[in-house]
Amino acid sequence: MSGPHTVAPQTVASKALLSFRAWRPPSYRRFNGRGFWTHYYHRGVLRFFRFGLELLVGPLVSSLLFVMVFAVAQNERAAMVPGIDLIQFIVPGIILYGIAHTAFENAAAMLVFEKMEGMITDVQMAPLSPLELLAGYALSSATCGLSVGLLVGGAAAIFVDFSSFDASLVLGFAVATALFFGLLGTVVGLWAERWDHYSAVEGFVVVPLGLLSGTFFSIERLPEAFREWIFYNPVFYAIDGFRAGLIGHAESSHSVGFAVLGGLILGLALLGWRLFAVGYKIKP
């Protein structure tokens, strides 16, 4: 029988989740650089490249197939906007979607797999702070996403004219997108308890965000009633800014795009740090 001062376990867990102490990593004397590098490179990046045939060549082939389908389907005068043909318009979106999907998939799938196989215990026993754990998952996934984007972009450059190339916009939006989806995948991986949960988020959130972001169409082609809704999709700003860096065409403000992505990255980083600090769904 519980006494008058007994606190329910759910209440204790809720207070721990909301407490300010959960935001602070354990007091290590210094940054564990060697442990972080092992977590980031050996467990994240190197493991990704070990399956290069599936994880690198797969996105490359699927992206080029998209381009080929549109190249065959379009007529000689097809243009999404004046002065820019259809293929030139959609290729930047295909490249960035490859970055986003790879970063999300790598982070979320890695965490779900480790949790289901009991390997997450090895990560918890490592002398790494919650912030170092979060950074290891998110940055390694972002690196993998950027690797796919570099490969797809290099192949696409053979067929598409990127004469209006702006390195600052291309690099800025590519890195911001990779970080955003790497952090999103990390948070989803912590939340998901089985593959069904991961697949649901991928199918009902990530894929619609990518397809309804202006990858394959200009907002000028949308009906007036739906045009303003696309500005609530953060992936639209990412693809639009990335497209501006490659072909010089933009439909939104770059400053707004960076501000939106920066705010989301900060919010997801704080949430992920907090979840690792309290051991959300990874502590027995």
- Residue-wise pLDDT for 118-169, tens only, equals 888 888 888 889 999 999 999 999 999 999 999 999 998 888 888 888 999 9
Strand partners, 84: 81
Where does residue 276 rank: exposed (0-12), middle (13-18), buried (19+ CB within 10 A)? buried
pTM over 0.95? The answer is no
**Would you state the pLDDT for residue 29?**
52
- State the chain's maximal CA–CA distance in angstroms: 80
Strand partners, 79: 85
Sign of the torsion formed by the C-alpha atoms of 175, 176, 177 and 179: positive
Q: Measuring CA to CA, which residue among 188, 230, 189, 194 is closest to residue 213?
A: 230
How far from 122 is each of 50, 74, 113, 118, 127, CA to CA, in Å?
20, 52, 13, 8, 10
**Would you state the pLDDT for residue 284?**
67
Q: Measuring CA to CA, which residue among 245, 225, 217 is closest to residue 236?
A: 217
Q: How far apart are CA 261 and CA 181, in angstroms?
A: 10
- What's the average model confidence in pLDDT over 77-81? 64
Which stretch of 11-20, 54-63, 249-258 has the lowest confidence by average pLDDT?
11-20
